[in-house]
A and B are shown apart, each in its own frame.
Chain A
Amino acid sequence: MNRIKCYMGIDVGSVSTNITLIDEENNVLDKQYLRTEGQPIESIRKGLKDIDRRIGKNIVVSGVGATGSGRQLAAAIVGADVVKNEITAHAVAAQKTIPDVRTIIEIGGQDSKIILLKNQVVHDFAMNTVCAAGTGSFLDRQASRIGIAIEDFGSYALKSKNPVRIAGRCAVFAESDMIHKQQMGHSREDIIGGLCDALVRNYLANLAKGKRLDSPVVFQGGVAANIGIVRAFEKALGVGIIIPEHFDVMGAYGVALLARENVQAASGKTQFNGFDKLNGSYTTESRECSGCSNCCEIVQITLDDDPVACWGDKCGKWSGTA
């Protein structure tokens, strides 16, 4: 039986861990969207085990890419051919879906980005530096505070006839302003609608900063599932917004594409450790190095007493040891 050759992209974010499998024609074969819940190693293992159980027999992994804030960790555990930052990964994925894309709006769990392209090359980007008011975690929190499921958040916003104005500068102010509006007797729909508008205002003020956002505009990241935010963006920008099919795993998709490109161009051999290795026990140990006054915090990851990765040092004394 012929196994399908596929490439894996892993995006370990603050809130979610996404895994994507693509085939030689860049089609998405499988995708996973898991909550990281502060345990990146566990969530990677869970995701991979699930893939192995379901389709492990039919596929052969020919390349692996890692991205997201936990990319180093993912790369060490799984064995990655490419380790790439989120910005590049998202840009690559969006370009694959919409080749002439000019603006990418990406809002994830704890950060948001804007990527601008010209002549199919990234020519400017920004990541939020001021606060997390516009991101998924904040929406999650507000949804649970109002007592609705995050999945219903968008449909509530759409029902709003007269969205209230909420201060969106900062998460703390937005929340207290929201509570105030709630106590004044505004409807839940109008408050949620107002919150969506405020978050979009915050995003445009902090990230776009007067830059020209040309169409086509692509919106990706977990928050793109929120129809309320999408409509608010369309209202603010005055253009239609494209949500790619795999909007929630675009980072993983992008880095899978990069893995395919790299493995095919280079040796053609993958660094992937295989699914079996995941059954071993991983332990992480952190300590403070006392070699010099830098006092670096060293993290060492071991698999069954075998050190697989080490980082955190400034001088390279430890990171070379694994």
Chain B
Amino acid sequence: MKITFPHIGNTYITAKSFLDDFGSEYVVPPFNTNKTLELGSKYTSEAHCLPFKLFVGNMLQAHELGADTMLITGGCGPCKLGYFGEMLKKTAAEIGIKMDIITLEVPDQGIKELAARIKKVSGGSNYLNVAKAVNAAKNVAVQLDNLERLSRIKRARQLEKGSVDKIYRGFQTGILEVSGSKEILKFIRQTEKTLKKLPVNEKARPLKVGIVGEIYTTIEPYANFSIERMLGNMGVEVTRQVTVSGWIINDMLKKGLHLPVESEDVRESKAYMSSMVGGHAHHTVGNTVVHAKEGYDGVIHIYPLGCMPEIVSQAILPAVEENHQIPVMTIIRDEMTGEAGFNTRVEAFVDLIKKRREEHLNEQNKMLYGY
């Protein structure tokens, strides 16, 4: 059995840690590129959402490298993601490749079924070892998200443009050479130290933008044209509340152990949507409210074309925009979206919030256009 998994941001590191700990054989698929999307689009219907097309692309590229089993995460929620497992199986059969799909989610059969699935991946390890590896992977995911958070703060304040990216890129490729959760955590801590030492402009008061929307397109840089990096290099501090570690803790572990999952953003969203419509709609609306209350300068809402929960959110966001007086821009991504148009919109949005802050603060030192 040679395992693989789809890409979503830095999750490959979490998956790697998990599989390293079991000593499983696996391949990390090539990072998402236009080629991945091309491959995925070839074998899927036009109407499928972008994440699914990329999942299929990852599956095919990993298959070329010898993978025969794919680990995916799924949600039992009312969104297409809940069907990804079945759809991938069907697509693999249609293409005519052999690929087992193992969905890591808490199915209707309960946590036992999940444990059994993980046990299969682990090659028959006992439950104690499985629990240990799950816990270690969770820690890796949490530390990764902390590292991402730190890099966003540093990027908005860096003295030399691109200096954070350089460290970060080194991290993303260097980590592939490191094996096992212990070593991975060590490498993350090292990178954190390097980042912390980076000289920054301490006096900067960067513009703050929250990114909300569908989980895949907000996290995977390929799907959002590295919007975090782009904004950061313009001197904007980015916050993204929906993270992979949050998903592992809330949607996989807590839900599985029947612990209550309640967060500020979900509470705040209740005024606008009383019932769950699936996906991350609650978080999108709720986080927009939270960001507005925290005094953010703006919110960017991203989702893949045809994502039902986010279409609902988009219809609600103008009300939040009006009630809390926070600019919100929605960007819809599909395989046709041109990067130039995307950049123009983001740039114009940053100009907008910059002027707006200037107006609000009525400062003496006028901010100028141009970065």
Contacts and interface: CB of A to CB of B under 8 A. Distances in A.
B344 A122 contact: no
Given A119-B359, A293-B35, A314-B226, A125 B348 contact: yes
Contacts of A292: 31
Interface stretch (B99-107, B235-243, B258-266, B349-357): B349-357
Contacts of B31: 292-294
Contacts of B359: 119-121
A85 B351 contact: yes
Residue from B162, B348, B352 whose CB has the most chain A CB atoms within 10 Å: B348
A297 B112 CA distance: 49
Interface in A256-278: 258, 261-262, 265
A125 B352 contact: yes
A248 interface: no
A127 B33 contact: no
A182 interface: no
Interface in A83-105: 83-88, 92
Contacts of B226: 314
27 contacts: A81-B370, A82-B370, A84-B351, A84-B369, A85-B347, A86-B344, A87-B348, A87-B351, A88-B348, A88-B351, A92-B369, A119-B359, A121-B352, A121-B355, A122-B351, A122-B355, A123-B352, A123-B356, A124-B327, A127-B344, A261-B369, A262-B369, A294-B33, A294-B34, A295-B33, A315-B169, A320-B162
Contact of B356 (A121, A127, A314, A320): A121
A265 B351 contact: no
B276 to A, nearest CB: 27
Interface size class of A (residues with CB under 8 A): 20 to 34
Contacts of A265: 368
A294 B162 CA distance: 19
The list of the 4 closest CB pairs from A to B, nearest first, reads A87-B348, A293-B30, A85-B347, A88-B351
A262 B356 contact: no
Given A121-B359, A122-B351, A125-B348, A293 B369 contact: no
A265 B367 CA distance: 10
Nearest to A83: B370
Contacts of A87: 344-345, 348, 351
A17 to B, nearest CB: 17
A316 interface: yes
B148 interface: no
B96 interface: no
B315 to A, nearest CB: 11
Interface in B138-179: 162, 165, 169
A162 interface: no
Contacts of A121: 352, 355-356, 359
B340 interface: yes
Nearest to B371: A83
Task: Decide if the interface of chain B is mainly helix, strand, loop or mixed.
Answer: helix
A69 interface: yes
Contact of B340 (A69, A123, A295): A69
A127 B369 CA distance: 20
Interface of B: 30-31, 33-35, 162, 165, 169, 226, 327, 332, 340-341, 343-345, 347-348, 351-352, 355-356, 359, 368-370
Contact of B345 (A83, A127, A293): A127
Contact of B341 (A81, A84, A127): A127
B288 to A, nearest CB: 15
Contacts of A262: 368-370
A262 B367 CA distance: 10
Given A69-B340, A125-B352, A127-B344, 18 more contacts: A84-B370, A85-B351, A87-B344, A88-B351, A92-B369, A121-B355, A121-B359, A122-B351, A123-B327, A124-B327, A127-B341, A262-B370, A293-B30, A293-B35, A294-B34, A314-B226, A316-B162, A320-B162
A258 B35 contact: no
Contacts of B368: 261-262, 265
A88 to B, nearest CB: 4
A85 B350 CA distance: 11
Given A121-B356, A127-B341, A295 B34 contact: yes
Contacts of B30: 293
Nearest to A86: B344
Nearest to A122: B352
Contacts of B348: 85-88, 122, 125
A46 to B, nearest CB: 24
A85 B344 contact: yes
Contacts of A316: 162, 165
Contacts of A315: 169
A123 B354 CA distance: 11
Residue from B33, B332, B352, B356 whose CB has the most chain A CB atoms within 10 Å: B352
A87 B78 CA distance: 38
Nearest to A316: B162
Contacts of B165: 316
A146 to B, nearest CB: 30
Contacts of A120: 359
Nearest to B162: A316
A152 to B, nearest CB: 32
Residue from B34, B332, B345, B370 whose CB has the most chain A CB atoms within 10 Å: B370
